[in-house]
Amino acid sequence: MAKPRPWIEAFAPATVSNLGPGFDCLGLAVRSEGDRVRARRRDEAGVALLEVEGDGGKLPREIDRNTATVAATWLLERHAPGRGVELMLHKGLPLGSGLGSSGASACAAAVAVDAALELGLPATVLVEAARHAEGIACGTPHPDNVAPCIVGGIVLIPALDPLRLVSLPVPERLWLALYTPGCSVATADARAVLPARVPLSDTVTQAARLGLLVHALHEGDLALLGEAVVDDIVEPARASLIPGYLEAKAACVEAGALACSISGAGPTTFALADDELRARALLEILEEAYTHAGVPGRGFVDGVGPGARVTTPRLH
Ligand code: HSE
């Protein structure tokens, strides 16, 4: 009997997208939390999903609806026609949290399939596969979670067709407090509340802040970064979807956070700090504020980390 083929496991990190003024075009990868996907070759063509765990039974199991299998199918159809893989998905990230959960599953699958079939595909192709899966899960194929999830660090996406990814410098002392209150916000709902039109003066301010943010990262100037992480377009429209958000943010700013805003579509709230201890203090403040608002959840403190990667030994 043929020996079973080895499983290849990939880890893909949580991401914080938008980062204030960078709606749909800027995001970062965190170090520690994320999703895992195992992949192995099979003789039959196409994708099979053998197991999903850690999602409380909430994610779709259908191959054309689960983001891990959608990304894997996209890759096979374009880059390995006639070949097949089996997948197992372990969710480490909460669903509908604003931590790029759907994107992390897609990215872990893309990386695991690429390695299991020894395709050696470039990052842009893996991002395209995961972006396609985001489109299925959230209604729009936004790249600002999956790009940093694959590439790691802080990534700007200046163009989609063709896809361009720009890695920005990561200041050494940048720490994040990330708290996910106990309410979930579907990305599609959080996008439905956004204004269809924005006054020109607001877009000018937002463009200036995004420019300042890029400058601050190049300078490694965390105070300037804090000034830049402000969003007067998307955040005000979404604040009411997150009970206690405005109070939590005010408490963080009062306590000396460099900045505080909504991670992606929310409800996860992030606060920036220039050292770990301050980030831990900000996490406590977020915890207290959301508990007070009746939506206690959970949080963690983290730095910016690398992108999705294989975590089992390579085949050769
Ligand atoms: N940029 C997207 C949004 C991220 O804010 O809707 C969603 O994960």
Ligand 1: distance of its center to the CA of 146 in Å? 11
The pLDDT tens digits along the chain (316 residues) read 556 689 999 999 999 999 999 999 999 999 999 999 999 999 999 999 999 999 999 999 999 999 999 999 999 999 999 999 999 999 999 999 999 999 999 999 999 999 999 999 999 999 999 999 999 988 889 999 999 999 999 999 999 999 999 999 999 999 999 999 999 888 889 999 999 999 999 999 999 999 999 999 999 999 999 999 999 999 999 999 999 999 999 999 999 999 999 999 999 999 999 999 999 999 999 999 999 999 999 999 999 999 999 998 654 4
Q: Is 293 in contact with 304 (CB distance < 8 Å)?
A: no
- Which is the closest atom of ligand 1 to the Cα of 190? 6
Probe target for ligand 1 pocket from 16, 107, 142, 185, with the most ligand atoms within 8 Å of CB: 142
End-to-end Cα separation, the chain, in angstroms: 22
Ligand 1: distance of its center to the CA of 40 in Å? 31
Q: Where in the chain is the domain with CATH 3.30.230.10?
A: 7-168+304-315
When computed from its CA atoms, the radius of gyration of the chain, rounded to whole angstroms, is: 19
Query: Residue whose CA is closest, atom 8 of ligand 1?
Result: 264
Query: Residue whose CA is closest, atom 6 of ligand 1?
Result: 265
Ligand 1: distance of its center to the CA of 148 in Å? 13
Please list the residues that pair with 47 across neighbouring strands. Answer: 85
The binding-site residues of ligand 1, defined as CB within 6 angstroms of any ligand atom, are 17-18, 23-24, 100, 142, 144-145, 187, 190-191, 264-265
Q: Under the phi-then-psi rule, with left for phi > 0, alpha for psi from -120 to 50, and beta for the rest, what region is 225?
A: alpha
Class of residue 79 by CB neighbours under 10 A (exposed 0-12, middle 13-18, buried 19+): middle
What is the distance between the alpha carbons of residues 170 and 305, in angstroms, rounded to a whole number? 9
Ligand 1: distance of its center to the CA of 264 in Å? 4
In CATH, the number for domain 175-302 is 3.30.70.890
What is the distance between the alpha carbons of residues 37 and 83, in angstroms, rounded to a whole number? 18
Beta strands in 19-58 (DSSP E): 22-42, 46-53
Q: What is the dihedral of CA 73, 76, 82, 83, to 10 degrees?
A: -100
Output the CA torsion sign for 285, 288, 289, 290: positive
How many Cβ atoms sit within 10 Å of the Cβ of residue 306?
Answer: 12
Q: Is 30 in contact with 14 (CB distance < 8 Å)?
A: yes
Nearest Cα neighbor of 186 from 105, 96, 91 is 96
Q: Where in the chain is the domain with CATH 3.30.70.890?
A: 175-302
Please list the residues that pair with 85 across neighbouring strands. Answer: 41, 47
Class of residue 207 by CB neighbours under 10 A (exposed 0-12, middle 13-18, buried 19+): exposed
Probe target for ligand 1 pocket from 95, 187, 231, 263, with the most ligand atoms within 8 Å of CB: 187
Query: Residue whose CA is closest, atom 1 of ligand 1?
Result: 24
> Two tokens at 51?
């197991």
Q: Is 47 in contact with 87 (CB distance < 8 Å)?
A: yes
Probe target for ligand 1 pocket from 145, 180, 184, 242, with the most ligand atoms within 8 Å of CB: 145
Please list the residues that pair with 259 across neighbouring strands. Answer: 272
Number of residues in the chain: 316
Query: Residue whose CA is closest, atom 4 of ligand 1?
Result: 264
> Two tokens at 190?
């959080």
Probe target for ligand 1 pocket from 15, 16, 19, 23, with the most ligand atoms within 8 Å of CB: 23
Residues contacting residue 31 through CB under 8 Å, at least 6 positions apart: 13, 302, 303, 304, 305, 306
Query: Quick one: fold of 7-168+304-315?
Result: Ribosomal Protein S5; domain 2 (3.30.230)
Task: Give the model's pLDDT for residue 314.
Answer: 53
What is the maximum span of the chain, computed from C-alpha positions, in angstroms? 69
